[in-house]
Amino acid sequence: MSSASCPALFISAPGSGHGKTTITAALARFHVEQGRTVKVFKSGPDFLDPMILERASGQPVYQLDLWMTGKTQCRQLIHQAANEADLILVEGVLGLFDGNPCSADLAELLNIPVMAVIDCKGTAQTTAAIAYGLANFRKKLPFAGILANSTASARHEEMITEGFSNDIKYLGSIPRKLNISLPERHLGLVQANEVNDIDARLSNAAQAIAMTKLAELPPSVTFHRPEIEPAPKLLAHVRIGIACDAAFSFIYQANLDLLQSMGATLIFFSPLNENTLPEVDSLFFPGGYPENYIDSLQQNQSIKQSIKDHYQSGKPIYAECGGMLYLLETLQDKRGNKGKMVGLLPGSAIMQNKIQGLGYQSVSLPKGILKGHTFHHSLINTQLSELTTGVRLYNTSPGEKVFLAKRLLASYLHLYFPSNPKATAHLFLP
C-alpha cells in the first residue's frame, strides 16, 4: 500500500449558513494565486457548491460521501489528490456533527484537521464557547482552529478573542464590510457561470484570507492508497451524448470519470444552443434548472425532434431530475409560465414554492443497486406506471418513482455511478 502526503484542511461550521463555501472558495483562490495547485472536495451529494469551488481552484471538484461514495473511494480520491496537489481542501456539509454519517466522521476517517467557520453576527465572547464545543465534542477529532466570519468591527473581534484560551487556535476574522458572500436561490448557491463578477468576488475573498493565519499552509497529512478494482470495460466503443449547459449542469465528475474508464466516449451537447444531436449511441440528461429556460427549450424544435428520433430508434436514454422534466410534455415555472418540452414521457411538471423531495436513496435496477440522492422543488403528473421505486436510507416516506418507456429510464434520483459500475453500464449499452 503506497502513501502520499499533502497539506490538508477540512472546513466545517456549527451549521448551515456560516459561510463554509465562501471561505473554502476564498482559501482555494488565495493559494492558487500564490502559484499552488489546490484540490478541493465537497462532503455530501451537492452539485452547486462544487461549481463555485471548481471556479476558485481551477480543478475538478469531487464529492466525498461516506454512504454514497463509500470509504474506499473517499480514500482513493484523496490519495490521488495528494500525489498531484500542494494543498487539499474539503468542505463539509451542514454542521460538523449533523447527519449520520456526518462531516466529523469523514474528517476522522481521513485524519484531516477541522477548521470551523463561525458566523459571529449576534455573538461575541460566546464564540469561544461554540468553538470549545466543536473542538471537544469528540476527543479523537483533529481540530485546527476557528475562523470568525462576519465580524462587525475591530472592537467586535477583540470581544470575540477575549473568550479564547491557548487550547483552541484562533485563525483570524473576515470583516462583514467586505461583503464576500455568494448569491443564492432555491436549490442553493447560484451556478458559478451565472455570476457575472464571480472571479472578482473570489479574488476579493482571497484578499481577505491574506489577512488571516490561513495564508499559511496547514500541516501535511499522510494518506494511504486503498486497494481498488479497475472498472470493467463494459462501454468500449459506446458514444454517450451528455446534455450540458446552463439548464443541465448537475453532473458528478466521478460519474464522467467512470463512464470514460469503462471505455465510453463522452460527447457534450446543449439543448439550449444546438439544433441537432451529435452522432451517439446513448443519451444522458442530468439535472439542472430547465425551469429557468422554458422559453428557449420550448423554441428549439429542431433538437427536440432529434431527441425524439433517437428515442424512436430504440436507443438508450437516461434522465434524472431536471433532465426528466425536459422529457415530459410540459413544464411550468413558479410564475405560471408554461412551455412544451420534448414529450417522450406523458405528463407535466409544475415547480413548487417548497421542497418536494430530499435525501439519500438507493434503487434496484435490472443489473444491480445504485446509490444516489434526491433534491427537487417540482411535482410531476403522469399516467405512466413506475418500473420501481427508490428506497430511502432513512425510511421516513416513499422513495422516488423510476419510470421506463422503451429504452428511456427516468426519475428524480441523482445516481452516483461508481456505486455500481455494472448497473451503470446497462443504462447506456445499446
Grid-cell match 473554502, residue found: 24
First to last CA, the chain: 38
Residues labelled catalytic? 321
Q: What is the CA radius of gyration of the chain?
A: 22
**Beta strand 328-332 with 338-340: parallel, antiparallel or unpaired?**
antiparallel
CA diameter of the chain = 71
Query: What is the distance between the alpha carbons of residues 234 and 422, in angstroms, rounded to a whole number?
Result: 8
